[in-house]
Amino acid sequence: MTSGGNKVVLVSVLLNVLLGVGLALFIAFGRTKPIEKYEGEIATLTTLNEGLETQNSRLFNENVASNKREEILDEIMLSLTEELANGKSVIEYLIKLKENGKTDYVNELSDDAIPVEFTAYLKRRAGKGESD
């Protein structure tokens, strides 16, 4: 039985060596050209890749332009926010003046109205001086 077991091992080793040699020869001398079936697919994928590269370049340029527009809009928004804050302070100031019944300017007075307004102003001042 030992000789039968040795034959099986010997045949197995011999077959493994032959398969290894066959694999080495196939790798060394196998086909180096791609199969025609895949050449068309490779050409299609190459064309698609070129189109995607063009699209990527265009999208990158659009992104840069969009970022520039965003920066400009941010600057405009900041200036409008500042103007709005200034407008709010002016409105608050005018509301206080209205509540106190005073104004700090005169639009237009005729020559006859100036003495009347000046007299009213002096009377108001004199009234405040007494109560203070």
* Percentage above 90 pLDDT, the chain: 42
Provide the greatest CA pair distance for the chain: 144
| Residues 6+ away with beta carbon under 8 Å from 78 | none
| Annotated domain spans of the chain | 36-105
Give whole-number Cα distances, 12 to 4, 8, 26, in Å: 12, 6, 21
| Residues 6+ away with beta carbon under 8 Å from 103 | 97
pLDDT band at 130 (very low <50, low <70, confident <90, very high): low
pLDDT per residue as tens digits for the range 6-54: 888 899 999 999 999 998 888 887 766 667 777 888 889 999 999 999 9
Name the average pLDDT for the chain: 84
Tokens describing residue 96: 């206080």
pLDDT band at 80 (very low <50, low <70, confident <90, very high): very high
Backbone angles phi, psi at 67, to 5 degrees: -65, -40
Q: Give ∠ CA 102-108-113 in degrees, rounded to 5.
A: 80
Tokens describing residue 34: 């791609």
Instruction: Flag the least confident range among 5-9, 62-66, 70-74, 86-90.
Output: 5-9
**Strand runs labelled E in 1-132:** none
Report the distance separating Cα 93 and Cα 105, nearest Å. 13
pLDDT band at 79 (very low <50, low <70, confident <90, very high): very high
